[in-house]
Amino acid sequence: MTPLLSVRDLKVHFPIRKGFFRGEIRNVKAVDGVTFDIAPGESLALVGESGCGKSTLGAAVLGMQVPTSGTISFAGEAVRHGESATRTRLSRDIQTVFQDPVAALNPKMSVGDSIAEPLAIHGVGDAKSRAERVAELLRLVGLHPQHAERRPNAFSGGQRQRIVIARALALQPKLLILDEPVSALDVSIRSQILNLLLDLQKRFGLSYLFISHDLSVVRHFADRVAVMYLGKLVETGPTDTVFARPVHPYTEALLSAVPLPDPVLQRTRKRIVLTGDLPSPANPPKGCAFVTRCPLAVDICRLDPPPLVQVGKAQQAACHLRAAAPAQEGLSA
């Protein structure tokens, strides 16, 4: 099956000026050679610490951030950044839901006008049919059609995120980029919003790129997971497999902090605490990006970046010690 989204060796580097008189130009390697696919109807969670490049990757997929190199294709067609035809198509087929629903909604516009805005921009329907669609969308996200008249400040955080989701669905997109969609919400309502998203996904066959640093949320939400570290993917695979048998030491450390549902297992679980700071993406380590914090690191890890290789039926990892590729074995011999 043709993937809905296909990303190949994507790099997004930001030039920054540093040093005396700011004469030295360095590149922040926010995304540094990322490859993955998302199938129609599939959800892929992108996880990793703050600053590892998740949002930059999302912005590139959305066509908002021009990549330094690499390719993105959507529904079999190459995404050419900067082309207005591409922007128009992507702006229908890919929608986003960000962390902060307050910032996402114009406080001066009625909720109905906000939800109808994408329809108006794309010239879909007339005022009457748009009002009907707004009522339908409000019902779909668990709100009342009468709510269309109100301003965003009349709603709670969770309700506002429902409104943002309604607006994201207005144009019947194929892919939603969900960038920490519940992180700003009260813990008690997070699962309601996540369940709504899961429900909508099933109903409309949506694909999700779900960006999160909260692995306990990812476990219940995503079909597959991609673990990102300093601009690179270090492990990918079906969520169940990666949670049960993480291969990369970084994935293992992240997962060791996630509480287990079984209290007996939880008591015996050992937490792996990573020491040292995340290196700067402007000056990443020469070999494996994780080498400065890896408890297993040996010489080869300081010299060569490990490639992402197959470690199971659908699982891949990038680690010299735990995921040796045949070519790499030759190198290290």
Among 3, 8, 11, 14, binds ligand ATP (CB under 6 A): 14
The minimum distance between CB 196 and ligand ATP, in angstroms, equals: 23
Bridge partners for 208 per DSSP:
43, 176
How big, in percent rounded to 5, are the helix, strand and coil portions of the chain? 40, 20, 40
Residue closer to Mg ion, measured from CB, 55 or 201: 55
Query: Containing H/E element for 330?
Result: helix 326-332
* 316 binding Mg ion? (CB under 5 A): no
Binding pattern for the stretch 218-257 against ligand ATP, x by CB under 6 A and - elsewhere: ----------------------------------------
* 212 binding Mg ion? (CB under 5 A): no
The minimum distance between CB 289 and ligand ATP, in angstroms, equals: 13
The minimum distance between CB 259 and Mg ion, in angstroms, equals: 24
Rg value, the chain, Cα: 21
Torsion of CA 320, 323, 329, 333, to 10 degrees: 40
The minimum distance between CB 163 and ligand ATP, in angstroms, equals: 22
* 26 binding ligand ATP? (CB under 6 A): no
Is the torsion defined by CA of 127, 128, 133, 135 positive or negative?
positive
The tokens describing 194, both together, are: 């996540």
CA-based nearest residue to 300, from 276, 277, 325, 282:
325
Q: Which does 285 bind (CB under 5 to 8 A by kind): Mg ion, ligand ATP, none?
A: none
* 54 binding ligand ATP? (CB under 6 A): yes
Binding pattern for the stretch 45-84 against Mg ion, x by CB under 5 A and - elsewhere: ----------x-----------------------------
Bridge partners for 69 per DSSP:
11
Residue closer to ligand ATP, measured from CB, 47 or 166: 47
Q: How far apart are CA 118 and CA 123, in angstroms?
A: 8
| Region at 276 (left for phi over 0; alpha for psi -120 to 50; beta for the rest) | left
The residue ranges that bind Mg ion (CB under 5 A) are 55
The residue ranges that bind ligand ATP (CB under 6 A) are 14, 16, 28, 30, 50-56, 213, 281
